[in-house]
Amino acid sequence: MSEKPTHLLKENNLRVTDCRIDVLNTFISRQVALSHADLEEVLKENFDRVTLYRTLKTFLDKDLIHKVLDDSGAAKFALCSHQHEEHEQHDHNHVHFKCEVCGLTNCIEEISLPNIALPKGYKSKEVNVLVQGICNKCA
């Protein structure tokens, strides 16, 4: 059992289960956005698809992961890398980069998105920017 996933779960008042630890370890080791199908492929020997789906939903609700814009049509998720105080909301308004060679999507946390002034009556929930090109590993 890895120390970081256990710490993340306890820090977010979540029960420590084998599935939650394995899902977090998969995100940590891969360091790219993953879909439910990606996780199912890696963890299918140990967990069924419903358990993985519920784990992703719990992690979204607890803000451990966030949805990632991708042109594949499948919902993808990435592990939140920034720390925040309990009950403090943070946003996920950063750039996502999809490599045209390897097909992997990464969060580029170093680039934050500007605030966009919307017309009166509109309320922004999240902002997504997907940059496509060739990543530093495939260049």
Task: For residue 100, give its domain range.
Answer: 3-133
The CATH code of the domain that includes 106 is 1.10.10.10
- Structure tokens, 84: 């925040």
Residue range 74-92, pLDDT digits in tens: 789 999 875 544 444 455 6
Domain annotation covers residue 118: yes
Residue range 127-137, pLDDT digits in tens: 778 899 999 99
Nearest to 81 by CA among 58, 108, 102, 57: 108
pLDDT at 119 over 60: yes
Count structural domains, the chain.
1
Overall pTM > 0.85 = no
State the pLDDT at residue 91. 57
Domain annotation covers residue 139: no
- Structure tokens, 20: 């939650």
Pick 113 or 65 by higher pLDDT: 65
State the pLDDT at residue 92. 64
